[in-house]
Amino acid sequence: MRYISTRGQAAPRGFEGVLLAGLAEDGGLFVPETWPTLSPAEWRALRGLPYAELAARILTPFVGDAVAEADLRRMCDEAYGSFAHPATTPLVQIAPNTFALELFHGPTLAFKDVALQLLGRLFDHVLAKRGERITIVGATSGDTGSAAIEACRDRAAIDITILHPRGRTSDVQRRQMTTVLSPNVRNIAVEGDFDTCQDLVKAMFADTPFRTDMRLAAVNSINWARIAAQIPYYAYAALNLGAPDRAVALAVPTGNFGNVLAAWAVRRMGLPVERLIVASNRNDILTRFFAGNDMSMRAVEPSLSPSMDIAVSSNFERVLHDALGRDGAATDQAMQRFRATGHMPVPDAAWAEMKNLFHGFSLDDAGTVAEINRLWRDAGYLADPHTACGTAAAAALAPSGIPVIVAATAHPAKFPDAVERATGIRPPLPRHLADLYERPERFDVLPADLATIEAAVRSHALRNAA
């Protein structure tokens, strides 16, 4: 398997190179040069497999010969053996034809664990083979940071610095990051929003001398390996509901478009996904685009679902590249214009192709509270605010006659204030996090200045390498 950049200028590379590079040198995102597909008979043969084995089999074509099959299976067993539920990502029926795919049974109670518990082990494996050390930098709107830190803490060949927007995560999300005191972990609260943090990370990757000197790597969903490791849970859910002999719809709460991109990828691999429902909060750039070809930036408004408080959905570039006939130059031109003007003119034919599959839906805070209450009242199901956006979207947009799978992206205890406001119930943290509010925090507050952030990343990495 080889990977190419969406902007067409970076040299193709294999899985190891994509894992360690994250962002392509031309500013684009890596995608498979050709998509692996499975026949209906091959999909049927995967039914009933334990999650870890299913994940290893689906990931094998993406990994290629970079990791031996036995090593990949072992890493999957180790990654998912730590999850609190024996099914890893169980399905829970919440309405006659609607199922919650619970992705929050990992160590940090969010869907990011499913990919990042495996990525930490893949990094270790590849770095040990190469005898190299890397510096991971990442931006988080709430959940990626804690999942990445948990996956990379105390690893000998990795230093990790995570940027989060100061005051714009939940207390649980922040503390899950800032109470990890491992020497290879640094947290920075940036004066700005998530997009500010994300722009700083991209700027560090675009700074070629700094990128080379620090051997930067990424754990955000700009890293293709992150997306690949999310594909298996959609396959697992669809197979359990009758695919490939029965079509499904997938409703995904998303901000940066990475989670729904993995849902799109499983369709590209041959499973019958009839509709992809993209659920957003009041920050509705994706809803506006799919409704009326309006891809335009607006100021981010803080919400009850902070992981979706995003103005620019980075992974949209991968779907755009496909819709533009995999034309790297056209994709680059569109993205450059978007950054320069805040508006992306997408050709009508490409937009029409995307809107035939993707259907956008947005929910404000009042609607989110009402939906959490409705789920508790009607189904006895306690949902976090992000999942509630997904279930509301499914109720509004699911096609009739086929099951709809809603990605339940976070444990309700990560957002206790919103859940209590909606239901009167304050969900407790699981036992392993019960003392989270008593743990000491460690983080730095820094301005959104590239030179300042780079200096902080450099000093952290050099201290640990000494």
Q: What SS3 class is residue 415? A: coil
Angle subtended by helix axes 143-152 and 112-130, to nearest 10 = 40
Phi, psi of 170 (to 5 degrees): -70, 160
Looking at residue 229, its amino acid is A
Give the list of residues 6+ apart from residue 440 with CB closer than 8 angstroms, or none: 179, 181
Plot region of 425 (φ>0 → left; ψ -120 to 50 → alpha; else → beta): beta
Look up tokens 């990370």; give the residue: 201
Q: What SS3 class is residue 134? A: strand
Q: For residue 112, indicate whether it is catalytic.
A: yes
Select which of 112, 129, 202, 414 is catalytic: 112
| Cβ(249)–Cβ(402) below 8 Å | yes
* 410 DSSP β-pair partners: 110
State the Cα–Cα distance between residues 452 and 346, nearest whole angstrom.
Answer: 36
DSSP state of 23: B
State the Cα–Cα distance between residues 228 and 40, nearest whole angstrom.
Answer: 20
State the number of CA atoms in the 13 A half-sphere of 450 facing the CB.
12
Q: What SS3 class is residue 19? A: helix
The full DSSP string for 160-221 is EEEEEETT-S-HHHHHHHHT---TTEEEEEESS-HHHHHHHHHHHHH-HHHHHHHTEE--ST
Active-site residue list: 112
